[in-house]
Amino acid sequence: MNTKTLNDLFLDELADMYDSEGRIVKALPKLATAATCPQLKEAIEAHLKQSRGHVIKLQKVFQAFDVKAVGKTCEATVGLLAEGNRITEDFAGSPAINAALISAAQKVEHYEIASYGCLHEWAGLLGNQEAALLLQEILDDERAADELLTKLARDGKNTEALGRGDEDQSDDPAPRKPGSPPRSLSPAKKRGPARAAAA
């Protein structure tokens, strides 16, 4: 019979995220260098600083459980970072590079948000409030980073990726609101039978 408990699961996931943060710290400088948008570059560099702090906070979480800080290869992060590296290389120099970098970064953020959300809940159930508080701080940082990336994408990086020059956008209406259907899917204007048939 397998006797592993929530405490074992918590420590296993904690080791996973400890490895993950270390890999992210090494990967972010390359993403920042690839960014051509100053705001995105600044956001990535700011999160790099946060991620270094997360490594220290995770060490404190280990200490709160009287366990030595040890990482376990995070296969999910390995895969996500490999994909991000491929995207960076494939779209380097293109109008879509910043949107591509945001996409790659958000995939990592969403994984971290899910993982830290679980760790925070488990720390609370295990009665370790010190660990729960540290994990909540990390979780808040990850959510804020994700929100900033979404804002940058919606403020222009996604439309920039369309690759259209100014002359192509001169008669373009205002950008559509998030969640609204693409203009190509919007209902056609009402036309008479003859004109509709000729369309």
pLDDT at 160: 87
Q: Quick check: 100 and 112 in contact, CB under 8 A?
A: no
Q: How far apart are CA 181 and CA 177, in angstroms?
A: 9
Q: Where are the alpha helices (DSSP H) in the chain?
A: 6-34, 38-64, 75-90, 97-125, 129-152, 158-160, 166-169, 193-198
Q: What CATH fold (topology level) applies to the domain 6-162?
A: Ferritin (1.20.1260)
State residue 177's pLDDT score: 52
CA-nearest of 78, 135, 136, 72 to 107 is: 78
pLDDT of res. 158: 84
First-residue to last-residue Cα distance in the chain: 70
Write down the pLDDT at residue 156: 87
Q: What integer pLDDT is reported at residue 95 of this predicted model?
A: 92
**Which residue ranges of the chain lie beneath pLDDT 50?**
166-175, 181-199
pLDDT of residue 165: 57
